[in-house]
Structure 1
Amino acid sequence: MLYEIATLTVKLGTAAKAVAGIGEYVGAAEAKGTLLGCWASEIGDLNQLLVLRCFADDKEWRTERERALRTTNPFNAGEAISQMSFDTYAPFPFLPPVAPGKYGSVYEIRTYRLKHGGVPPTIAAWEAAVPERGKLSPLSIAMYALDGPPRFTHIWPFASLDARAAVRADSVARGVWPPKGGPDWLTGDMRSIVALPTSISPLA
């Protein structure tokens, strides 16, 4: 299974129309893959829509990527989109597939750059730590990039920003997070976006 995050920077005031177009685009008869999440950025880079989809295999993913690259109206929101980028990921193998549902009113999407060779030890560290960390709040997905610089992205839902702060403080106080040994493989380049589920998001 492959995951993809499409990051769509949209013109001011066009987000609602763009979201409607995205819903139509990913639900079209010719569309491949499954929509899992669609969020609007709230903290971080603004005027962005982040679209998370999964694909059964490389053929399905490539067919859908070509569909986006060969049209003047990607995501049925071409007039609204000023910039568009794609990131392709493989899931950490110990995690179950993303399960749509209602988990929180805010989502944090974090990306960390890795040192060379950092993928296997990072997966091992997370596999050891996630069961205890997950008791405090759920993890939607953690996945490592298949293109671009070595990095991984993880997505967490929270009931609120206050709940996020409380859970993060509690996890550190209990010693269950960050994963033991995990930070050793980070370069220090870390990015985070707090985003809100849109009306079409299966992760809400």
Structure 2
Amino acid sequence: MTLYDLVTLTVKIGANAQVFENIQARGDAPGSKLLGCWYSDIGTLGQVLVLRGFDSEASLIAERKRMLLEGNPFGCGEFITDVKIDSYALFPFLPPIEPAVHGGIYEMRVYGTKLASLQHTIDAWEKAVPERTRRTPLVGAMYALDGAVPRFLNIWPYASVDERSRIRAEAVKDGIWPPKGGPAHLTTMESTICVPAPFSPLR
């Protein structure tokens, strides 16, 4: 799978448990695979994020149409106040995202890039990722197919917030991250620290 969507639900206060139950029951749509479910802990609070992989472009589009026309994502309509759906394509040098146990927290980082800079960014990441992932795994990096473009999402797991700070600082100090020339092409940066739901395949 190289096509993904990230569904962000803004959840009513106190409704996380019911939302998790519904997502667990309905997360796999035809042609898709539920890969992760998290709730935001640092950043914009009150959000539940759902990552799914799709076996084809047709499956992704069909599921998007179904969700829009049905208007009840994962059967959670009564428990949410807003929904956002973003589609992504995996950086071509990375393996497909698979369920795994990493523990602790996940960081969802979204970068905007300058026009005509996306391929440069992918090339720079391809050179830098092997050394960076000796410090901590990269779940995935993928570029947006819709919404504000060009932008890309990268997902990093850590044992804790403290470990995240330490590893990132060491990677910068050792000169292995960020990718050489990468920051010059960025226009925006956004980060959310998330905690996996108990049933999340990525946790």
Normalised TM-score (structure 1): 0.96
Q: Which residue of 2 aligns with 1:183?
A: 183
The size of the alignment, in residue pairs, is 201
Asked if 1 retains the 8 angstrom alpha-carbon contact of 2:30 and 2:59, the reply is: no
Question: What is the match of residue 77 of structure 1?
Answer: 76
* Root-mean-square deviation over aligned CA pairs: 1.0
Gaps of 5+ in 2: none
| 1:10 paired residue number | 11
Matches within 5 A, 1:101-112: 101-112=100-111
Residue matched to 2:200: 201
Map of 1:57-96 to 2, 5 A cutoff?
57-96=56-95
- In the TM superposition, what whole-angstrom CA distance separates every residue of 1:90-112 from its partner, at most 9, and x where no partner exists? 00000001121111210000001
The whole-number CA distance in structure 1 between the counterparts of 2:72 and 2:86 is: 19
Q: CA deviation at 1:33?
A: 0.5
1:166 is aligned to: 166
Q: Percent of aligned pairs with the same residue? A: 49
| SS class of match (2:19) | helix
TM-score normalised by L of structure 2: 0.96
Give the distance between the partners of 2:93 and 2:71, measured in 1 at CA.
39
Alignment correspondent of 1:26:
27
- Residues in 1 aligned to 2:164 and 2:27: alpha-carbon distance in whole angstroms: 30
Provide runs of 4+ in structure 1 moved above 4 Å.
none
Work out whether residues 86 and 146 of structure 2, in 8 Å CA contact, stay in contact via their aligned partners in 1. yes
- Report Cα offsets for 1:21-40 as digits up to 9, x if no partner: 1111124xx64300111000
Report the alpha carbon displacement of residue 63 of structure 1 after superposing the two structures with TM: 1.3
Q: Secondary structure at the match of 1:36?
A: strand
Distance in 2 between residues matched to 1:92 and 1:175, nearest whole Å: 22
